Chain A
Amino acid sequence: MALYVIKRLITMIPVLIGITLISFFIIHLAPGKPTDILTELNPKITPEARERLEKLYGLDKPLHIQYLMWLKKVVRLDFGNSFSTDRRPVIEKIKERLPVTILINLLSILLILVTAIPIGVYSAVRQYSFFDKVMTVFVFVGFATPTFWLALLLMILFGIYLGWLPISGLTSLGYEKLTLWGKFTDLAQHLLLPVFVSAFGGLAGLSRYMRSNMLEVIRQDYITTARAKGLPERRVIYRHALRNALLPVITILGLSVPGLIGGSVIFETIFAIPGMGQLFYQGVLMRDYPLIMGILVIGAFLTLLGNLLADLAYALADPRIRLGG
């Protein structure tokens, strides 16, 4: 197992280097210099000052040297200072925002798991039943629904017409004065819609996937054996079939991480949630180069981490993988 982990970690290194390379060259794809945004805003800036600034950011050096200089800092998680008015280090800003994004993503993964798996299993066991047909329609519609539209509709329905749920932010005014329980329910109310919206797409996908996995497993010989030796159907489905059908779900969850992280831009912007997605969006509007680069690298790193965890979980659950290498 240890050997397997080390092997996986080593294969991550070239991918990480590749990610930094791509992120770095995106910046230099753009017309103009990264410092333009700083100098444009200040019409009084002299050519000398502009040059000094370029020197400061190393823009007078050749590209590959710039990349190496930048990479040396990135390894220490130093992405430089944000271009926004507060000029704070990028990594500090990301650190503040990351927990909210991770919390929402974990909650939505949880929601996906606890709803999609039963739906998929039930659809497979009762293939072509009324429930299965309804769920198939739901899956197709779910795939096609733009999440930001769903968010708007839910906001209109629950926030405006019914007035049950708050439609923006993470906490209400006066959050500080609430009791612990009050804080919890307030936060939960604010999180309900964002978590549901971010889970929605994955929910449709995973329940479909679970259904086809389950259908495949049910046809296997060992299921027939289990039935033949007289086990009750419940036991056959939930013990013998489900365990095997669940294995590939781990991989799918790992693969869904980039989508979830990318999607956070949309729902954090709509629901005004102060997470990494919103920070990224604001950075994009401001052309805040260091911030964009930082989040791009961190986002990719999180994706790799998600994949690694998924692979390890898979190896733990399925001994065949470990032996294969």
Chain B
Amino acid sequence: MERVETPLRLFWRRFKRNRLAVAGGIIVISLFFVAIFAPYLSPYDPNEIDVSSILLPPSLDHPFGTDELGRDVLSRMIWGARISLQVGFVAVGIAVVIGVVLGAIAGYYGGMVDSLVMRFVDIMLSIPTFFLILAVIAFLEPSIFNIMAVIGLTSWMGVARLVRAEFLSLKEREFVMAAKSLGAGDMRIIFRHILPNAMAPVLVSAVLGVAGAVLTESALSFLGIGVQPPTPSWGNILTAGKDNIEIAWWLSFFPGLAILVTVLGYNLLGEGIRDAIDPRLRI
């Protein structure tokens, strides 16, 4: 039987030719694996305090050393992967939903609605995002949920712009006209006809957005207003690294490296997906 060249197959063929993209994919999949199987992978209980092994440098027993309470850094990092995964996906989920809805409405209806939404986007973009996030967190309790919500609520603007641009051109196409003449309602045209055609760039920007959210969460946790100890997160292990900077380099080195590799993985994956979907989009 003849193999049919489906869009998905074409995508996969292009994707796997790109070695960097595949590397990114492997990093992301490994991260999922580590996060899901954290209880089985971590050699110690991440919260077990051991006063006899405080601030030990890396050794066979503790490959990444121990922290100021004698907890195993590797185990805390393995559990921290869960936090970073959760924050990344939920925050980006929120941002994508808001961005898609506002962008679709602005692009589809145009006119006043469009100007209003885009002005709002301009306003949000001109407040330094990190200031905005800090200001909101200052008034809420720093919990994982609040952090995910705040990161999501302050990072949807890029998606909104993208979706709007796609809608502006797609709404003029014949298939939209066809749907209209068949009597489809606005909601049906927006979500069933146009949106599926605009999802590719949204997917790319979502994957890249996860990288951004992971960075923001770790920065917040590092500053002590993100994920609160004793819950382990890469950012708050780094806080301990800063407090013990003169004596314990391993507390700073390993968690930061984990953040770097993770963010790198999502970035490579995102760019790889973009190149595979549409090589013309490449910058």
Contacts and interface: CB of A to CB of B under 8 A. Distances in A.
Residue of A141, A284, A304 with highest tally of chain B CB at under 10 A: A284
Interface stretch (A56-64, A116-124, A153-161): A153-161
Contact of A27 (B134, B139, B219): B139
Interface stretch (B10-18, B73-81, B241-249): B241-249
A19 B260 contact: no
A140 B123 contact: no
A261 B131 contact: yes
Interface in A230-268: 258-259, 261-263, 265-266
A279 B23 CA distance: 41
A88 B264 CA distance: 45
A200 to B, nearest CB: 12
Contact of B267 (A143, A149, A167): A143
B274 to A, nearest CB: 14
A144 B24 CA distance: 12
Interface in B119-148: 119-120, 122-132, 134-140
Contact of B256 (A29, A149, A265, A292): A149
Contact of B123 (A18, A31, A155): A18
Contacts of B267: 140, 143-144
B203 interface: no
Contact of B139 (A14, A29, A146, A266): A29
A18 B122 CA distance: 9
A296 B132 contact: yes
Contacts of B191: none
B268 A303 contact: no
B283 interface: yes
Contacts of A207: none
Nearest to A212: B283
Interface in B223-275: 223-225, 238, 241-242, 245-246, 249, 252-253, 255-257, 259-264, 267-268
A89 B263 CA distance: 41
Residue of A148, A212, A296 with highest tally of chain B CB at under 10 A: A148
B139 A281 contact: no
Contacts of A269: 223
A18 B117 CA distance: 12
For the residues of A in contact with B, the DSSP-based class is helix
B215 interface: yes
B204 to A, nearest CB: 15
Contacts of A266: 130, 219, 222-223
A146 B222 CA distance: 11
A197 to B, nearest CB: 13
Interface string A15-40: 10011001100110111000000000
A240 B257 CA distance: 42
B129 A284 contact: no
Interface in A278-320: 280-281, 283-285, 287, 292, 295-296, 299-300, 303-304, 307
B211 interface: yes
A160 B253 CA distance: 14
10 contacts: A22-B132, A23-B127, A31-B139, A143-B264, A152-B245, A156-B245, A258-B129, A280-B131, A280-B134, A296-B131
Interface of A: 14-15, 18-19, 22-23, 26-27, 29-31, 140-141, 143-146, 148-150, 152-153, 155-156, 160, 167, 212, 258-259, 261-263, 265-266, 269-270, 280-281, 283-285, 287, 292, 295-296, 299-300, 303-304, 307
Interface of B: 20, 119-120, 122-132, 134-140, 211, 215, 218-219, 222-225, 238, 241-242, 245-246, 249, 252-253, 255-257, 259-264, 267-268, 283
Given A259-B129, A266-B130, 8 more contacts: A19-B126, A23-B127, A29-B140, A146-B263, A153-B252, A258-B126, A258-B128, A300-B126
